[in-house]
A and B are shown apart, each in its own frame.
Chain A
Amino acid sequence: MKNKKILVVDDDEAILEAFELTLTDADYIVETTAKNGTVVDNKIEKFHPDLIVLDLLLSGSDGRNITRRLKSDPKTKNIPIIMISAHPNAKKSALEAGAEDFLAKPFEMTVLMKKINYLLSGKRK
């Protein structure tokens, strides 16, 4: 999946750094941001990510609201979103908000990669 672009949104800098390392090593182009709201929109507009990894509870804003907005915008609705959260029971609300998949923190890298590959492979309809 070389040259695929992944945007990671989380309010924890260390996690963003870890994603950057992990995904870069796996040959993805990574953009990260700890900011929410319009900053995310700007990033998407500039970066044109192929996939977004989005934290469920961002400080100041709910990741689910961002998901709903992106999924309601025709320009962005096709970008797959994986929501991540330290709340293991948040899966339901994440999927309800429109995310393609959910991953509870902390997770196995292999599982994360499987999900990303799957969503980017175009196997899903």
Chain B
Amino acid sequence: MKNTQQNKFPELLTIKDVSTLLKCHPTTLRIWDKNGTLKALRIGKRKTRRYRREDVEKFIQKYDLIEEQTQNNTLVEFAPVGIFETDAKGDCLFVNKRWCELAGLTPEQALGQGWVQALHPEDKERVFREWYEAAKARKEFVSEYRFRTPKGKVTWLQGSGIALKSKGKVTGHLGTITDISEQKQTREKMEYYSHLLESLSEAVFSTDTKLTILSWNKIAEKIFNVTEKEAMGKSLDTFVDVEFIDTTRDDAIKQLMTKRTWSGEVIFVVRKSGKRIPALSTGSVVQDANEKHIGFVTTVLDITDRKQVQEKLKESESRFRTLADSSPVLMWVNGLKGCEFVNKVYLEFLGVQPDNVTKFDWAQFIHPGDRQMYVDKYLQAFKKHKIFEAQFRFLRADKQYRWMKSVGLPRFGTNGEFLGYVGSTFDITDLKQAEQETQKAAAMIESSDDAIFSLDTKGIITSWNKGAEHLYGYSKNEVLGKTTALLMPPNKKDDFPMIMKQLKRGKTIDHYETQRMTKDGLILEVAITISPIKNEAGQIIGASKIARDITERKKLEQRKDDFIALASHELKTPVTSLKMFSQALEQRFKKIGDLQSAKYLTTMNKQLDKLTELVNGLLDLSRVQQGKLEYRKNKFSVDDLIHETLQNIQRITDSHKIISDGQTRQKIVADKDRVGQVLINLINNAIKYSPDAKEVIISSKKVDSQVIISVKDFGMGIPKSEQKKIFDRFFQVNNPNAKTYPGLGLGLYISREIVTRHGGKIWLESKLNKGTTFYFSLPIAQTEEIKRSKITSK
């Protein structure tokens, strides 16, 4: 065999030839000599390299010697597992190529105890100890450990070793190392996944392709209230809603088979309790090594809570929209990037219908003067996630700027993250105007020359303006909290209970002239008006008091009064003599039969009476205005007064017959002359305003505790619109189509004054072109009202 081979050998051999000859790999050639020492090493990849025949022949001579060993070694060398051999102590004698790869060491480096450096630092001590202990004890060694190459590559290994024996004596050890990194990783992964599966909030179970349950995790047990044992072998359909089975299940399986995954919502059912579980479910295919589908893994995430939250969210969202749209205020929701929603009212207010509210420029509707302020305020609040508030003018659809107030509350997510604002904007134009009015009023009050202050229901001063400081000399701090009695001089102390009584009744005291005392003790003549202050519920919570210094006016009035008294006196003196002369002459003419002349003098006398009436009226007016009309009260018969008055007037009246109707049979306490004056006024008016009538009827009767006297005419009547004004000073019924009537328009004004001062009332009934009836009532006994009226009439 040797010769045959030799003959065939060409002069030059290729690597392949050599490899074939040496039965080794063409790129790596290692040859050991008889002593097992490595002789030939790497040949290299260059296939074209040629060796001289005589060299190879020499080599083959040696080869003969080591042929057997080499063949063995070649196997060992190229085995897929790492192989090592040690002496009896355990020191390394040999490592194969795979071992060297895994260790990152050369065979030389591994010899002796050199191999130990291949161990991972964390495992080194343990494995070193275990190995030499096992070697010493001549026991089998099995362990898992890591190699780390000098370059840092880590490989998990399973190492094992057995003792080699010869003639019953341990001659050494032979061991293998196997790369188990992948298994290790897979095992770790498996552990990780199984932990993961158990720790998931999702139920996970596996089935075969026919949906028979093969595994069932703890969460599944919990959710379905079924143990793994109970679930195993059952069909998954047992746990799924019938409707899903009918409509979706087959499609889902089809998708799983083709695309290997499926996800969607499934309603699971717990048969035991009938409980339905909405769930987010995913399915994936399990394949065997040949990629054949052998089953499915299904996860089930119970979303009952999420569903409920979603439902609630949906509900609250729709509720918000409904509310927002039906709300009278402008509502808006802003996100981090701007507007997300505005309600219908908002759009209607601006009169716009943008396609996309998120991209719409809302700021363009803000008044240019307010825009920057608004934006600045918003950004400031936005930065700090604080409440946003601003007042600004907003352009309404009718092109009118309205004062608005915006309030935005920051929105936060469930984890506390800032989401933007939800806000409302409302029209405060009226409020703003009212505010301005209030400010104006407050300024007016403060700057008024009149003393204006307010009291609570106990008469304690609660506000005090500059005018009050000026008039009374007290500063605000000196009077606030004190009662208004502080201002009353000793002779007017009765004012306080009277004012409090009126205040509690909610009555206004109008222009009450009295005296007040300053801080310096000076007595002032003042006119006071007190009006109740009511709260929204209409309850009296205090009163406002306006006091005006009328000392000067009083003096002027006194002068005027004196003047009027003097003037009327001076006027009456010539009238008196005129009247006497005219009456005396009238008598003379009658005596001598010159009736014509007598008649002229009668007319003259009447004119003088009218003149007297006018003078008296002016005098009375001046006194009524000052509250100085004097009353002398006596007891008298009402019927007598009517009778006397009627006779006196009838004596000088030819045009009308004055008829008396009824009797009172009552005596009253009153000023007879003044009551007579009222009656004369009414009768004279009746005659004056019914020029075409023939009668005036005076009626009188007692009704309860009062007498009522009426004067009825059949004249032109008084239009409704003028009836209220008829008792006003200087008022006269005006009828453009009728003739005018002489007089100052003082009669009814003074009459009303007299009647009310007596505690009575005066009123009228009238029909146009039919006539008018004036009534007045007087109390028979002197009532409270008369007494009270004294306070204000003095």
Give chain B interface residues in 554-591, CB to chain A under 8 Å: 565, 568-569, 572-581, 583-584, 587-588
Residues of A within 8 A of B661 (CB): none
Residues of B within 8 A of A1 (CB): none
Residues of B within 8 A of A122 (CB): none
Known contacts A25-B588, A92-B632, A106-B612: A15-B580 contact under CB 8 Å: yes
**Interface residue tally on A, bucketed by range:** 20 to 34
Residues of A within 8 A of B572 (CB): 86, 105-106
Verify if B616 is at the interface (C-beta below 8 Å from A): yes
The reply to whether A109 and B577 contact each other, CB–CB distance below 8 Å, is no
The reply to whether B612 and A18 contact each other, CB–CB distance below 8 Å, is no
- A-B contacts counted at CB < 8 A amount to 59
- CA–CA, A81 and B142, complex, Å: 163
Verify if A87 is at the interface (C-beta below 8 Å from B): yes
Verify if B608 is at the interface (C-beta below 8 Å from A): yes
**Interface residue tally on B, bucketed by range:** 20 to 34
The reply to whether A15 and B576 contact each other, CB–CB distance below 8 Å, is yes
Verify if B630 is at the interface (C-beta below 8 Å from A): yes
Looking at chain A's contact residues, is the secondary structure mostly helix, strand, loop, or mixed?
helix
- CA–CA, A17 and B616, complex, Å: 25
What residue in chain B is nearest A104 (Cβ atoms)?
B572
Contact of A14 among B565, B568, B577, B608 (CB under 8 A): B577
- CA–CA, A89 and B673, complex, Å: 10
What residue in chain A is nearest B580 (Cβ atoms)?
A18
- CA–CA, A25 and B572, complex, Å: 23
Contact of A18 among B565, B581, B587 (CB under 8 A): B581
Residues of A within 8 A of B574 (CB): 14
The reply to whether B583 and A105 contact each other, CB–CB distance below 8 Å, is no
The reply to whether A105 and B616 contact each other, CB–CB distance below 8 Å, is no
Known contacts A25-B588, A88-B616: A19-B580 contact under CB 8 Å: yes
The reply to whether B584 and A12 contact each other, CB–CB distance below 8 Å, is no
- CA–CA, A104 and B321, complex, Å: 88
Verify if A117 is at the interface (C-beta below 8 Å from B): no
- CA–CA, A96 and B579, complex, Å: 28
Verify if A107 is at the interface (C-beta below 8 Å from B): yes
Residues of B within 8 A of A15 (CB): 573, 576-577, 580
Verify if A65 is at the interface (C-beta below 8 Å from B): no
Please encode chain A, from 1 to 28, with 1 for each CB lying within 8 Å of some chain B CB and 0 for all others: 0000000000010110111011001000
Give chain B interface residues in 96-114, CB to chain A under 8 Å: none
Known contacts A87-B569, A107-B576: A18-B584 contact under CB 8 Å: yes
What residue in chain A is nearest B611 (Cβ atoms)?
A106
Give chain B interface residues in 481-530, CB to chain A under 8 Å: none
Give chain B interface residues in 325-345, CB to chain A under 8 Å: none
Q: Give the Cβ gap from A92 to chain B, nearest Cβ, in Å.
A: 6
Q: Give the Cβ gap from B405 to chain A, nearest Cβ, in Å.
A: 66
What residue in chain B is nearest A88 (Cβ atoms)?
B616
Please encode chain B, from 138 to 170, with 1 for each CB lying within 8 Å of some chain A CB and 0 for all others: 000000000000000000000000000000000
Q: Give the Cβ gap from A117 to chain B, nearest Cβ, in Å.
A: 15
Known contacts A25-B584, A25-B588: A86-B577 contact under CB 8 Å: no
Residues of B within 8 A of A21 (CB): 580-581, 584
Residues of A within 8 A of B616 (CB): 88
Known contacts A86-B569, A86-B572, A106-B572: A22-B583 contact under CB 8 Å: yes
Q: Give the Cβ gap from A72 to chain B, nearest Cβ, in Å.
A: 26
Residues of A within 8 A of B612 (CB): 106
The reply to whether B584 and A109 contact each other, CB–CB distance below 8 Å, is yes
Residues of B within 8 A of A109 (CB): 579-580, 583-584, 587
Q: Give the Cβ gap from A22 to chain B, nearest Cβ, in Å.
A: 4
Q: Give the Cβ gap from B547 to chain A, nearest Cβ, in Å.
A: 31
Give chain A interface residues in 61-118, CB to chain B under 8 Å: 86-89, 92, 105-109
Residues of B within 8 A of A108 (CB): 583
Known contacts A18-B581, A21-B581: A105-B588 contact under CB 8 Å: no
Q: Give the Cβ gap from A103 to chain B, nearest Cβ, in Å.
A: 10
Residues of B within 8 A of A12 (CB): 573, 576-577
Q: Give the Cβ gap from A64 to chain B, nearest Cβ, in Å.
A: 16
Give chain B interface residues in 350-401, CB to chain A under 8 Å: none
Give chain B interface residues in 536-566, CB to chain A under 8 Å: 565
Q: Give the Cβ gap from A13 to chain B, nearest Cβ, in Å.
A: 9
Q: Give the Cβ gap from B566 to chain A, nearest Cβ, in Å.
A: 10
The reply to whether A106 and B608 contact each other, CB–CB distance below 8 Å, is yes
- CA–CA, A109 and B578, complex, Å: 12
What residue in chain A is nearest B612 (Cβ atoms)?
A106
The reply to whether A22 and B630 contact each other, CB–CB distance below 8 Å, is no
The reply to whether A87 and B565 contact each other, CB–CB distance below 8 Å, is yes
Residues of B within 8 A of A19 (CB): 580
Residues of B within 8 A of A89 (CB): 630
Residues of B within 8 A of A106 (CB): 572, 575-576, 578-580, 608, 612
Q: Give the Cβ gap from A43 to chain B, nearest Cβ, in Å.
A: 21
The reply to whether B577 and A22 contact each other, CB–CB distance below 8 Å, is no
Residues of B within 8 A of A25 (CB): 584, 587-588
The reply to whether B576 and A86 contact each other, CB–CB distance below 8 Å, is yes
The reply to whether A86 and B573 contact each other, CB–CB distance below 8 Å, is yes
- CA–CA, A18 and B673, complex, Å: 27
The reply to whether B565 and A22 contact each other, CB–CB distance below 8 Å, is no
Q: Give the Cβ gap from A102 to chain B, nearest Cβ, in Å.
A: 12
Give chain B interface residues in 168-222, CB to chain A under 8 Å: none
- CA–CA, A15 and B580, complex, Å: 8
What residue in chain B is nearest A23 (Cβ atoms)?
B584
- CA–CA, A109 and B608, complex, Å: 13
The reply to whether B568 and A86 contact each other, CB–CB distance below 8 Å, is yes
- CA–CA, A109 and B581, complex, Å: 10
Give chain A interface residues in 18-62, CB to chain B under 8 Å: 18-19, 21-22, 25, 57
Q: Give the Cβ gap from A89 to chain B, nearest Cβ, in Å.
A: 6
- CA–CA, A18 and B573, complex, Å: 12
- CA–CA, A25 and B584, complex, Å: 8
What residue in chain A is nearest B585 (Cβ atoms)?
A21
Residues of B within 8 A of A17 (CB): 577
Please encode chain B, from 609 to 632, with 1 for each CB lying within 8 Å of some chain A CB and 0 for all others: 000100010010000000000101
Q: Give the Cβ gap from A40 to chain B, nearest Cβ, in Å.
A: 19
Q: Give the Cβ gap from B565 to chain A, nearest Cβ, in Å.
A: 7
Residues of B within 8 A of A88 (CB): 616, 619, 673
Q: Which of B565, B581, B608, B630 has the most CB of A within 10 A?
A: B581
- CA–CA, A22 and B576, complex, Å: 12
- CA–CA, A19 and B580, complex, Å: 7
What residue in chain A is nearest B568 (Cβ atoms)?
A86
Contact of A22 among B580, B608, B632, B673 (CB under 8 A): B580
Q: Which of A14, A22, A106 has the most CB of B within 10 A?
A: A106
Residues of B within 8 A of A18 (CB): 576-577, 580-581, 584
Q: Give the Cβ gap from B613 to chain A, nearest Cβ, in Å.
A: 11
What residue in chain A is nearest B583 (Cβ atoms)?
A109
Q: Give the Cβ gap from A120 to chain B, nearest Cβ, in Å.
A: 19
- CA–CA, A92 and B579, complex, Å: 24
- CA–CA, A14 and B574, complex, Å: 8
What residue in chain A is nearest B652 (Cβ atoms)?
A108
Q: Which of B565, B584, B587, B608 has the most CB of A within 10 A?
A: B584
Q: Give the Cβ gap from A80 to chain B, nearest Cβ, in Å.
A: 20
A18-B577, A106-B580 are known contacts; what are 20 more A-B pairs with Cβ within 8 Å?
A: A12-B577, A14-B573, A15-B576, A18-B576, A18-B584, A25-B587, A25-B588, A86-B569, A86-B576, A87-B569, A92-B632, A105-B572, A105-B575, A105-B576, A106-B578, A106-B608, A106-B612, A107-B576, A109-B580, A109-B587
**29 pairs from A and B in contact (CB 8 Å cutoff):** A12-B573, A12-B576, A12-B577, A15-B573, A15-B577, A15-B580, A17-B577, A18-B577, A18-B580, A21-B580, A22-B580, A22-B583, A57-B569, A86-B568, A86-B572, A86-B573, A88-B673, A92-B632, A105-B572, A105-B573, A105-B575, A105-B576, A106-B576, A106-B578, A107-B576, A108-B583, A109-B579, A109-B584, A109-B587
Which 6 pairs show the lowest CB-CB distances between chains A and B?
A: A18-B580, A86-B572, A14-B577, A109-B583, A106-B576, A105-B576
**Could you tell me which A residues sit within 8 Å of B by CB distance?**
12, 14-15, 17-19, 21-22, 25, 57, 86-89, 92, 105-109
